[in-house]
Amino acid sequence: MVTLYDVAREAGVSTATVSRVIHGQDRVRDATRLRVNEVIERLGYVPDGAAQSLSRRRKEVIGFVCVESRARQYEVENMNLLYYDEVMRGVGAGVSDSGWSLLITYLNGENGQNFARLRNLSGKVDGMLIGHAVVPSSLLARLTERVPVVVIAGAPGETTVDVVTADNRSGSAALVAHLIEVHGRRRFYHVDGPAHLADLRERRLGLERVISAHPGCRVIGSYVGELSVQSGVEAGESLLASHGTSLPDAVVAANDQMAIGVLRALSEAGVGVPDDVALVGFDDIYPGCLSDPPLTTVHQPMRRLGERACIRLMDRMIRPGLRPRAEVLPVELVLRSSCGCPPGTAMRLPVKPVRGSRFGSTKSGAADPGKPNGAAGSACAAGPRRGSRSRPTETIES
Amino acid sequence: MVTLYDVAREAGVSTATVSRVIHGQDRVRDATRLRVNEVIERLGYVPDGAAQSLSRRRKEVIGFVCVESRARQYEVENMNLLYYDEVMRGVGAGVSDSGWSLLITYLNGENGQNFARLRNLSGKVDGMLIGHAVVPSSLLARLTERVPVVVIAGAPGETTVDVVTADNRSGSAALVAHLIEVHGRRRFYHVDGPAHLADLRERRLGLERVISAHPGCRVIGSYVGELSVQSGVEAGESLLASHGTSLPDAVVAANDQMAIGVLRALSEAGVGVPDDVALVGFDDIYPGCLSDPPLTTVHQPMRRLGERACIRLMDRMIRPGLRPRAEVLPVELVLRSSCGCPPGTAMRLPVKPVRGSRFGSTKSGAADPGKPNGAAGSACAAGPRRGSRSRPTETIES
DNA sequence: ATGAAAGCGCTAACAT
DNA sequence: ATGTTAGCGCTTTCAT
């Protein structure tokens, strides 16, 4: 292996000088610089990362922890795992802009060795990015003692750790407001997921707030599923069983998989979507744009989530003193036709944050929670009304 | 930061002893071990990765190089980028089994700094995994001088570097044999891609071999596209223009995107698939299973590709003497209905390697290239004939 | 503008 | 069974 010493000797200078040349520092005579560079090139010298890290007391590596999935590729159920890949791309972009590296660790769900692995990881990185719920918060706390940690897609209320997440609450609110204000829906059925999940809690809150702000609107029933297509089917069946005689006019599902399941159950029973019942999901998984009717849903900026998380982590590494903040990124309303918009509709509308959906964030656009997204609400039916400034929309599917 | 010295001092032993305890080595009295472990726990000591790497002269990190994609998520055109994520999962699994880590680098296509970045990366890892065509082979060669490199999905003929790739040739052969033997197709139209891509070369070869082994079958025309849906549409239009009066009875596309494009063009023109013209793709991207008719294609074992590449790399790092080999992994024929199989067909059949498709691999099943996949060929129509041992098939889409 | 030298935290001979 | 110590390859003061 060619070392700095080899280069120094060969070029007839000291290691300090070689180091200076490598890092493009000043105080090196041009002639010297040239000579050193020539030797570096000739010898094919590449600095040893470990030695650099040790000497600088900084590894310039950040760790990214994901959940391992042995699931079959493209299983609808696991579509949202794909989001991790997207988040990772964002992180990758953020990281490499600064010349740092990204160290990946896949954790397998149940494993008791996970903490040992994370602990160990903490000795190899300067900071870590962890997906929400990937690591129990008890372990999180212990990790935080060692290295800065930023949680991605966690609960915005978290106080002990930095969080970068999407505005689930406003997304959900926008969806419901759209159903009410544009499509005149009043009687809602809520297909919810496990109670403890932070993002679902936000979505639930968004739904409830908008409903209660609209007199005459109400939730006539709900079902707690497990986020799978199958459990969506069951939700649909349960809905038909208990409300078959007086159907709701809209179903709001906690995620796209369940919405797809509901759609199946309703179609099976001959209930028309959106004519009899409007239906919306959440997440914007790929199959949603291919269902019949295509699914109206909310899209989270996964890539930006990764980028921001990365920037936040860097920031924290520079200033460890900062107290933990949550950063809530805006989502997009994805209008297709399951909500009642005309067939062929395909637009994305930025969702403005409703009050209370952002924590610690500065310029929150704080709209009235009752009418969370006037622009988005109106855009579909017949173009923007009242000259509202809905931004130009774009088509999604290619 | 808590160091080994802190632990040693606190426990009243030498650093060597602490190191022994950490690595679970023998020759430590139980009492000592206990005491040291207690101190480690109490102080929250975690070994510094950089120092370990430097001292051991081994980083226990392998680098994975992918292409950066700024493309919109879920753009059909970029669906195969998703495969990288899948390969990466495989690599992740392989790597963590051995306690090593995975360092990711995203490269952006055109960038001239890429070599500098890779070179630099080589100072941080013990070996690298690179996707085929991600790095020009001139650079590859220079990289190989520094660290062991394994190329994923490259050309099996490569001589200077290890390659782990999928059996494109046999996959293509199986596809064509299926069209001929099961569906009686004779007149083929070939929608090819750029000539220089190694995997496409293999696919072309598979096609040609099977055709020429079947008297009466021939390629009546071809089109060289660029692997995009759009270029598939153009291929379809070109096909209609030049062969509109006497259509081929099968179209073989170099990838799924182009097959989807062809499907669009043909549908547009009122040509029925598969009744008028059978159509097959390659890659098994997700939208293929949702097209109408669903697309018959070939699936590559991306995850295993990653796992094997990883194992191969480890192997090479242990024994640098080995001369480069190619490892060709078997693919699966994915039968849906665009080939002429009945609507609702959804099965995957292992593809046995045809002669010449494997290089340096040991037990190649070397079937007659003329009838590359008897079992697969017959399975669709009415189940296996002649008691052939086609393995049990499974349904794909959930 | 350049050099000398003291670490960075750990491992692994080698010694006891 | 345990301790001593010489590196690993680089960065970075502090001299010159």
Which tokens go with A29? 């005579």
Task: Place A27 in a pLDDT band, splitting at 50, 70 and 90.
Answer: confident
Helix or strand holding residue A380 (H, E)? helix A374-382
**Which residues of chain B lie closer than 8 angstroms to A124, CB-CB?**
49-50, 101
CA distance B361 to chain A (A): 27
Residue B145 main-chain phi, psi, to 5 deg: -65, -30
Q: Within 7 Å: CB of B204 and strand D?
A: no
Q: Within 7 Å: CB of A49 and strand D?
A: no
pLDDT at B389 exceeding the cut of 70: no
Least confident of A255-269, B92-106, B254-268, B333-347: B92-106
Please give the C-alpha separations between residue A227 and each of A129, A152, A200, B72, B142, in angstroms, as whole numbers.
25, 20, 10, 25, 49
To the nearest 10°, report the CA torsion of A284, A286, A291, A296.
Answer: 20
Q: Within 7 Å: CB of A55 and strand C?
A: yes
pLDDT at B132 exceeding the cut of 50: yes
Query: Which DSSP category does A160 fall into?
Result: S
Among positive and negative, which fits the CA dihedral A184, A190, A195, A198? negative
Q: Which residue has the higher pLDDT, B319 or B240?
A: B240
Instruction: Return the axis-axis angle of helices B82-97 and B302-318, rounded to nearest 10°.
Output: 40
SS3 B153: coil
Which tokens go with A107? 């954790």
User: In B 2-41, which Cβ lie closer than 7 Å to strand C?
Assistant: 3-5, 15-16, 19, 22-23
**Which residues of chain A lie closer than 8 angstroms to B120, CB-CB?**
46-47
Q: Within 7 Å: CB of B17 and strand D?
A: yes
What per-residue confidence (pLDDT) applies to B72? 64
Q: Say if the Cβ atoms of A69 and B86 lie within 8 Å.
A: no
| Contacts for A395 with CB less than 8 Å, ≥ 6 apart | A346, A347
Nucleotide nearest to A20 (CA to C1'): D11
Q: Within 7 Å: CB of B57 and strand D?
A: yes
- Chain B, 128 to 157: residues with Cβ < 8 Å from chain A are 142, 145-146
| Contacts for A257 with CB less than 8 Å, ≥ 6 apart | A76, A77, A79, A80, A227, A228, A229, A232, A281, A285
Q: Say if the Cβ atoms of A103 and B101 lie within 8 Å.
A: yes
CA distance A348 to chain B (A): 13
Cis peptide before B274 (omega within 30 of 0): yes
Helix or strand holding residue A166 (H, E)? strand A162-166
Share of chain A above pLDDT 90, in %: 70
CA distance A202 to chain B (A): 24
| Contacts for B359 with CB less than 8 Å, ≥ 6 apart | B156, B157, B325, B326, B328
What per-residue confidence (pLDDT) applies to B376? 45
Q: Within 7 Å: CB of B47 and strand C?
A: yes
The whole-angstrom separation of Cα A103 and Cα A91 is 11
What per-residue confidence (pLDDT) applies to A79? 79
Residue nearest to nucleotide D9 (CA to C1'): A51
* Residue found under tokens 């419901």: A176
| Contacts for A217 with CB less than 8 Å, ≥ 6 apart | A180, A185, A186, A187, A188, A210, A211
- Reported as a single tens digit per residue, the pLDDT across B327-384 is 999 999 999 999 999 999 999 999 999 876 654 343 333 334 444 444 444 444 433 3
Per DSSP, what are the bridge partners of residue A271? none
- Chain B, 62 to 101: residues with Cβ < 8 Å from chain A are 68-69, 73-77, 82, 85-86, 88-89, 92-93, 96, 101
Which tokens go with A362? 């500065």
The whole-angstrom separation of Cα B123 and Cα B140 is 15
What per-residue confidence (pLDDT) applies to A25? 81
**Which residues of chain A lie closer than 8 angstroms to B65, CB-CB?**
none
- Chain B, 247 to 276: residues with Cβ < 8 Å from chain A are none
**Which residues of chain B lie closer than 8 angstroms to A306, CB-CB?**
none
Interior angle at CA B143, CA B138 and CA B144, nearest 5: 100
The answer to whether the CB of B277 falls within 8 A of the CB of B248 is yes
Q: Say if the Cβ atoms of A106 and B89 lie within 8 Å.
A: yes
Helix or strand holding residue A101 (H, E)? strand A101-107
> Which has the closest alpha carbon to A64: A123, A132, A130, A108?
A130
Number of inter-chain CB pairs under 8 A, A vs B: 130
* D strand bases under 7 Å from protein CB: 1-5, 7-14
Task: Place B73 in a pLDDT band, splitting at 50, 70 and 90.
Answer: low
Please give the C-alpha separations between residue A179 and each of A253, A296, A381, in angstroms, as whole numbers.
13, 10, 11
Beta-carbon-side half-sphere exposure of residue B388 (alpha carbons within 13 Å): 16
Least confident of A155-164, A313-322, A387-396, B267-276: A387-396
Q: Say if the Cβ atoms of B104 and A120 lie within 8 Å.
A: no
Mean pLDDT of B15-34: 93
Task: Report the length, in residues, of chain B.
Answer: 398
SS3 B284: coil
Of A92, A106, A229, the CB nearest to B96: A106
What per-residue confidence (pLDDT) applies to B79? 79
Which tokens go with A342? 């005309």
Nucleotide nearest to A54 (CA to C1'): C8
- Reported as a single tens digit per residue, the pLDDT across A49-108 is 999 999 999 999 999 998 887 766 667 877 777 788 889 999 999 998 889 999 999 988
| Contacts for A244 with CB less than 8 Å, ≥ 6 apart | none
**Which residues of chain A lie closer than 8 angstroms to B52, CB-CB?**
123
Q: Say if the Cβ atoms of B46 and A398 lie within 8 Å.
A: no
Among positive and negative, which fits the CA dihedral B247, B253, B256, B261? negative
Nucleotide nearest to A123 (CA to C1'): C9
- Reported as a single tens digit per residue, the pLDDT across A135-154 is 888 888 889 989 999 999 87
- Reported as a single tens digit per residue, the pLDDT across B177-233 is 999 999 999 999 999 999 988 999 999 999 999 999 999 999 999 999 999 999 999
SS3 B60: coil
Per DSSP, what are the bridge partners of residue A213? none
For residue B46, give the chain A residue with the closest CA.
Answer: A123
Q: Within 7 Å: CB of A1 and strand D?
A: yes
| Contacts for B126 with CB less than 8 Å, ≥ 6 apart | B58, B59, B60, B61, B62, B147, B148, B317
pTM of the model: 0.88
Which tokens go with B208? 């040609």
The answer to whether the CB of B328 falls within 8 A of the CB of B359 is yes
Confirm or reject contact between B215 and chain A (CB < 8 A). no
Q: From the CB of residue A322, how many other CB atoms can be counted at a distance below 10 Å?
A: 12
pLDDT at A378 exceeding the cut of 50: no
The whole-angstrom separation of Cα B77 and Cα B80 is 8
**Which residues of chain B lie closer than 8 angstroms to A103, CB-CB?**
61, 101-104
Share of chain B above pLDDT 90, in %: 70
Q: Say if the Cβ atoms of A398 and B119 lie within 8 Å.
A: no
The whole-angstrom separation of Cα A303 and Cα A152 is 11
> Which has the closest alpha carbon to B52: B99, B93, B96?
B99
Residue nearest to nucleotide C3 (CA to C1'): A14
The whole-angstrom separation of Cα B185 and Cα B174 is 14
Nucleotide nearest to B52 (CA to C1'): C10
For residue B54, give the chain A residue with the closest CA.
Answer: A50
Q: Within 7 Å: CB of B54 and strand C?
A: yes
Residue nearest to nucleotide D13 (CA to C1'): A16
> Rg for chain A (alpha carbons), in Å?
26
**Which residues of chain A lie closer than 8 angstroms to B74, CB-CB?**
286, 289
Of B54, B68, B102, the CB nearest to A104: B102
The whole-angstrom separation of Cα A284 and Cα A20 is 50
